[in-house]
Structure 1
Amino acid sequence: MSVLADLRGLTPQQRNTIIASYLGWTLDAFDFFILVFVLKDIAKEFNTDVSAVSLAVFLTLAMRPLGALLFGLAAEKFGRRNTLMVDVLLYSLFELLSGFSTGLTMLIVLRMLYGIAMGGEWGVGASLTMETIPERTRGIVSGLLQAGYPSGYLLASLVFFFLYPLIGWRGMFFVGVAPALLVLYIRRNVEESPAFLASRNRVRQPFMAVLKGNMKLFIWAVVLMTAFNFLSHGTQDIYPTFLEVQRNYSAHTVGAIAMFYNVGAILGGLFFGALSQKIGRRKGIVIAALLVLPVAPLWVYASTPILLAIGAFLVQFFVQGAWGIIPAHLNELSPDEVRSTFPGFIYQLGNLLASGNATLQATLAQHWNGDYALALLVVAVIVAVAVAVLAGFGYERKGVDFEAGDSGARPA
């Protein structure tokens, strides 16, 4: 049966759950990237420099593991659906309040609170979806869910391009309250996870006890997600800086290239997510990660903006292609008792450990006489190989029955 036929075979309830989780991650990412676009304007209004304001970005990322843990534990106890609604309301509220900041300290505190809420969305939304849909659709739906992140980036780019001249940086945050409307959709159209409902009467072990019993899996998964986050951030964070500083391209050209490679990211997640349903999660990740290697030189050394855009499209197609497998892969690997906590916590810990990527690449570029291209290429090649090795020799549980309590991870 084809992918499209599988999707057409979903029930209305399953489609509603997918839509809600995809929009939740899309709008979460949208709210996050709003700050990235207005750092200079905030610094100017608060009479400080961009590096001081950028602390808010780092602290947002640093608080995400705490959010994944807190909201994940809440979802294990109170259900995925209700926890997701609370999470969306909170990140929307903190986004709105950020627009009323009277100084840098207030903004940083609000962004830390936002980071906690942001960290909770991915794990809870992914577990709700993966536990609701048929096993045969996990691959393509996994790619769709992960495509929410570049979708949010793309949406923030469009809002900045069209609305920022009219509404300013505070107005950008006010627009960021819109995701709160998603709660109405979830309340009306989304039901609780069948796996959660089936497990309510089972005896549950505490999170730490489950973690201790799966320590090898936990450590491997955190290292894998650290490599994954270095791969995504290592191909995104300073790429616009490379285009502006080393290639001297205008903001318009940089913005156009960014929009183009985000389309590649979305398509890559969908393609490799669906492919992993046929060939397996590990094999899909390995292929996508290794295909970054032959296209990476075009991404940084092409002679024209069009060729660079093609290179960036291909790199993001393969990078986010590997990422598109992750929601299904981590949920399948997770012990049943902690499925709304384990994947999100691991993801966000990896994100925290890789949060110094931009500083690392900027330092390398400075050491190499401003050669951002070399810094980008070296990091991308190393971590792409690391992702392939870690995934290829790691665990896989493709096809596990979430409601049957199957919890045996299979190493390579």
Structure 2
Amino acid sequence: MARLDRRDEGGFFVSIVEALGPARQAERLLGRKQARLVEAENTIRVDAIENVLGEMRRARQHDPPVGFRDFGANNSMFSRALCLSDGAPFEESLNEIGGEDSLLLERLTMRGLRFAWAARAIKAIDPTAQVFGPSSWGATEMVNFQNAPDWRAHARYGSFLALYLDAFRKASEQDGKHLLDTLDVHWYPFTSRGKLFRTDAEALDVIRLDAPRSLTESGFVEDSWVARALSSAAADRLGLPILPSLRRIIARRFPGTKLSISEFNYGLGKRIPSALALADALGCYATGGVYLATHWGSLADLLSESYRLYRAPDVLGGGFSGHTVSIRQSAADTLSAFAADDGSALRLVLINRAPREIAVEFGAPRRRFRQTHGFEADRSTFGERTETPRENDGAVRFALPAYSARRYLFV
């Protein structure tokens, strides 16, 4: 079951190259001499990372503990590769991880973010710390490092992410410890018809509501450049749906590594479609083999209702948690369904993406219906609903309002 969280200034996910932010904060922790920053990137010297982590570890020894638990080894590597210059105070480390099979492409690479070295420093100071990377910004970086001119020399790996994982696997085998805990990427919805990121345009409602289908639904093809970039899934090649494809590459190149989505955003939250799209994506992450998922941006307005759908307690005091339960359904174009069983209760989440009421029949052998929570277009605040399903020959039948999300409790 994924951890579903918000990534912001109060969160727990910190990139080691951005952990301190402004120079004055770095000086407070490191001292003026050690806080040598690349001003344009707010990055810190790699040889200062141990001091940063040491300070963070001491902070965690407070009662109650404070500080950080998860660390990102990179962030949007390609965009930073274009910004860092030869004058940056880093050492180039092409051989640091994998010799000639290094994850660092010779021409478009982050200079000197010595990934394995940084991971070793983190693990040495806090063996329980979790290291994430490479936090690729999008599909083209995941596939071939944004059409890197020297990609042909590395194309035998199938994708940049496969290359990245393979390099960390080799370094981990050499060290005798898993240096990369989680393969991390960013995932934003796109369309050829406009902008979905932090918008709520009514003209894009149907596209926005369909966007999460690219996460897990086989056969669904979105109308965007992403579908073209991910058109040849096989072995180490990425394709849609993206979550099974990422899990397959992990299993092939670095088994035991977890998967995270540290940035995603399905809309502004001013209108119900973006709240439903976010709720749908959270369900995919929670049941799709994702260890951690952190939303990019404020959870203002209706977006907070999407999280309450999974996290708010019911009459038993629990939320959507436990073991994922597989669901077969035949209305993927209008309905999303997710289920989890914590041993004492089964919780079913249904999302109606249609502008009309739909009826859903659900078979729950040896389970008794107990409670309903949700939100919908006409009543957008999450809360308990008095709807009671009709029982029909061992199954229960629900009526889902137009543009609605429901969580049903069975005991």
**For this structure pair, what is the TM-score category when the shorter chain's length is used for normalisation?**
under 0.3
* Bigger relative contact order, structure 1 or 2 (CA pairs below 8 A, ≥6 apart): 1
Bigger strand fraction: 2
Q: So what's the TM-score if we normalise by structure 2?
A: 0.27
Q: Which of these two proteins has the greater Rg computed from alpha carbons?
A: 2
